[in-house]
Amino acid sequence: MLRDRESLTILIFLTAVLIFTGLIFFQIQGGSSEARSISATEDPAKTPGHFSIRTVTPEGLPLSGVEITLTDKNVQLRKSTDADGRARFSDIRVQHFILTAKAEGFTEKSAWFMSGSSEILTLEPDITKHEVILRLHGSNTIGAKYAPDLAVGYLEKLGAENIRTEKGNSPEEQEVSGMLAGKRLTVEIKAHGSSTGFASLKDGSCDIGMSSREIRDREILALQHLGDMKAVASEHVVGLDGIAIITHPANSLETLSVDAIADIFEGRIRRWEETGSRLNGGIEVYARDDKSGTYDTFKGLVLDKRKLHEGARRFESNALLSDSVTRDINGIGFTGLPYVNRAKALAVGTEAGGAIFPTFFTVATEDYPLSRRLYLYTAAAPANPHVLDFIHYALSDEGQKKAADTGFVDLSIKTFAGLVPPGDATTQISPPVEAYAKAVQGGLRLSLNFRFRSNVFELDSRGMRDLQRVIAFLEKPENHGREVLLAGFADSHGAYAYNQELSLKRAQVVADALKARGVYTVEALGVGQELPVASNETPSGRARNRRVEIWVR
């Protein structure tokens, strides 16, 4: 009787094994708390004496190099998975066995299997060997896609494998991780708006602050324990973006002035008939939330001291805002250039001249009225060695290609047949303009401008790095022997003669910097306050007009 009971117990156990070998269930950790079922029907050849196992990450990516061991009381077989994550065994002389899977950075797994089956096994990350090497907080514009792409490239550069991107606790949070030397290295990205990046730098909860606007004076003061946040050691321009004014694709409107845009978003203009559009109806305003750098930049460049219309619909995400405008025939909004998507972008006009459409060159030179810089801010001397290595990667050719692939304007130098910017009839015939037009005749303009702070002759943080880019550009074989022309400009504050002298001195500052680096065929001229590219009535407009153009002949 006892032997019959033992036989029945064994029979029940073997039946259970047969039922469950077709479906293996593991708890997944590291990005998703949901359990996940894995189907066991991948290999149609289920022959007795053969067994096939495929190991994958929680995202379904193959895991190569996993050590697979099949164990019976009399037999032990061992293989490693191939590039497809698969290991195959043949001539297995037992009916059932214990399989053990070992991989660096993943928890060891063991389970019963039967000969003649084919299984897919999902391994859990070993959270005891998890290291967060970088924390990036701040701008959603940067953090939505550009920062994760940079993180992937940086981990690849370190030599990490099995790199994956996982969502965090909210849609604005992501983790990018990869395996290196038995550890899972992670880059944490929290993109809740530019202001949150500076707050995180202050309390030490992040290593790099992402911002789609320039740091404010009060933030500089709050972060002075980290160094001078406006110095080249702390402020890193990693790309350029334009704030696009977008409407529904069916809207007939092509152009709006900055003043008209401000009137619409303040609520003074409420119907499309008032704008020149063929639409008849009330205007629906879409805007980013208060924490976003996109909104801060829009407020500084467009609204100034005006208040946003109370009825505006607010969004934490550029992509959601753009999609919403696309679905609303009466909608108008603003977003970063990479997020225009299916919406229609408008050309933007200023008091200085005609309307300018956001393109690579108008944004790269920052002549487009609503162009902006994308910043990464760090401590001047960070203790974490990955911080500066990551910054160097972001500024490298590979990192800048990721900026372009994301849809931003990268910092690489390109040439184009530049035109004399529009001006009124008086400025067109002034001696400085005549000299400028003659000097640039037949030349090619480079896709950058050097910019200065008011009444000073010191280049800003982007300008210091642009000097090196110009040197690299001129060292290319096709550019040997070319002459460089530098044309300086000023804003209109101050006396005309003073501004003329100021603009020439700024051009000479850049010329001296290039000569100090071995470029001697340089000519500098000053155009003064002529040919503004933006209004001189706002601080941002005046900053845009204080520039030095660079041409080659």
| Domain segments of the chain as ranges | 20-122, 127-239+375-394, 242-364, 413-552
The CATH number of domain 20-122 is 2.60.40.10 = yes
Decide: 229 and 207 in contact? Cβ < 8 Å.
no
More confident residue, 159 or 350: 159
Cα dihedral across residues 77, 78, 83, 85: positive or negative = positive
Instruction: Report whether pLDDT(380) > 90.
Output: yes
Model confidence pLDDT, tens digit, residues 430-465: 899 999 999 999 999 999 999 876 666 788 889 999
Opening angle at CA 419, ends 416 and 420, nearest 5? 145
Q: pLDDT confidence of 338, banded at 50, 70, 90?
A: confident
Mean pLDDT of the chain: 86
What angle, 0 to 180 degrees and rounded to 10, lies between the N-to-C axes of helices 385-395 and 397-406? 70
H-type helices in 230-310, by residue range? Answer: 258-266, 293-298
Q: pLDDT confidence of 334, banded at 50, 70, 90?
A: very high
The CATH number of domain 127-239+375-394 is 1.10.1060.10 = no
- Name 265's bridge partners: none
Model confidence pLDDT, tens digit, residues 181-221: 878 999 999 999 999 999 999 999 999 999 999 999 999 99
Instruction: Report whether pLDDT(31) > 90.
Output: no
Lowest mean pLDDT among 20-24, 158-162, 339-343, 507-511: 20-24
Lowest mean pLDDT among 137-151, 170-184, 384-398: 170-184
The CATH number of domain 242-364 is 3.50.50.60 = no
Buried b (16+ CB within 10 A) or exposed e, 392-413: ebbbeeebbebbeebbbbbbbb
pLDDT of residue 36: 29
Distance CA(112)–CA(17), nearest Å, equals: 7
Tokens of 372: 């902006």
Q: pLDDT confidence of 75, banded at 50, 70, 90?
A: confident
Amino acid identity of residue 450, one-letter, is: F
pLDDT of residue 305: 86
pLDDT of residue 345: 96
pLDDT of residue 4: 55
Distance CA(179)–CA(221), nearest Å, equals: 39
Q: pLDDT confidence of 43, banded at 50, 70, 90?
A: very low
Decide: 137 and 209 in contact? Cβ < 8 Å.
yes
Query: What value does the mean pLDDT take over residues 92-119?
Result: 83
What angle, 0 to 180 degrees and rounded to 10, lies between the N-to-C axes of helices 146-158 and 385-395? 110
- Name 287's bridge partners: 314
Decide: 186 and 130 in contact? Cβ < 8 Å.
yes
Model confidence pLDDT, tens digit, residues 127-157: 666 799 999 999 998 999 999 999 999 999 9
Query: What value does the mean pLDDT take over residues 151-168?
Result: 95
Instruction: Report whether pLDDT(16) > 50.
Output: no
Model confidence pLDDT, tens digit, residues 489-505: 999 999 999 999 999 99
Query: What value does the mean pLDDT take over residues 375-389?
Result: 98
pLDDT of residue 419: 66
Model confidence pLDDT, tens digit, residues 456-484: 678 888 999 999 999 999 999 999 989 99
**Are domains 20-122 and 127-239+375-394 of this chain identical in fold?**
no
Distances in Å between the alpha carbon of 69 and those of 47, 77, 81, 122? 19, 6, 11, 16
Q: pLDDT confidence of 5, banded at 50, 70, 90?
A: low
Distances in Å between the alpha carbon of 382 and those of 198, 201, 204, 246? 15, 11, 11, 40
Model confidence pLDDT, tens digit, residues 101-114: 988 777 888 888 88
Distance CA(189)–CA(148), nearest Å, equals: 7
pLDDT of residue 427: 45
Q: Other CB atoms closer than 10 Å to residue 307's CB: what's the count?
A: 10
Query: Using the 8-state DSSP alphabet, how is residue 215 labeled?
Result: P
Distance CA(492)–CA(94), nearest Å, equals: 89
Report the largest interatomic distance among the alpha carbons of the chain, rounded to a whole angstrom: 116
Distance CA(88)–CA(346), nearest Å, equals: 59
Query: What value does the mean pLDDT take over residues 87-100?
Result: 84
Instruction: Report whether pLDDT(426) > 60.
Output: no
Instruction: Report whether pLDDT(278) > 50.
Output: yes
Question: Quick one: how many helices (H) and strands (E) in the chain?
Answer: 16, 28
Query: What value does the mean pLDDT take over residues 13-20?
Result: 43
Instruction: Report whether pLDDT(373) > 80.
Output: yes
Q: Other CB atoms closer than 10 Å to residue 533's CB: what's the count?
A: 24
Instruction: Report whether pLDDT(45) > 80.
Output: no
Instruction: Report whether pLDDT(420) > 70.
Output: no
CATH number of 413-552: 3.30.1330.60
Opening angle at CA 243, ends 237 and 248, nearest 5? 155
Query: What value does the mean pLDDT take over residues 67-92?
Result: 86
Kindly report the backbone phi and psi dihedral angles of residue 527, in degrees, each rounded to the nearest multiple of 5, phi listed first: -110, -5
Nearest to 40 by CA among 57, 26, 22: 22
pLDDT of residue 193: 92
Model confidence pLDDT, tens digit, residues 295-333: 988 988 899 889 999 999 999 999 999 999 999 999 999
Query: What value does the mean pLDDT take over residues 367-382?
Result: 94
Decide: 211 and 137 in contact? Cβ < 8 Å.
no
Decide: 131 and 183 in contact? Cβ < 8 Å.
yes
pLDDT of residue 9: 52
Distance CA(187)–CA(231), nearest Å, equals: 25
More confident residue, 541 or 526: 526
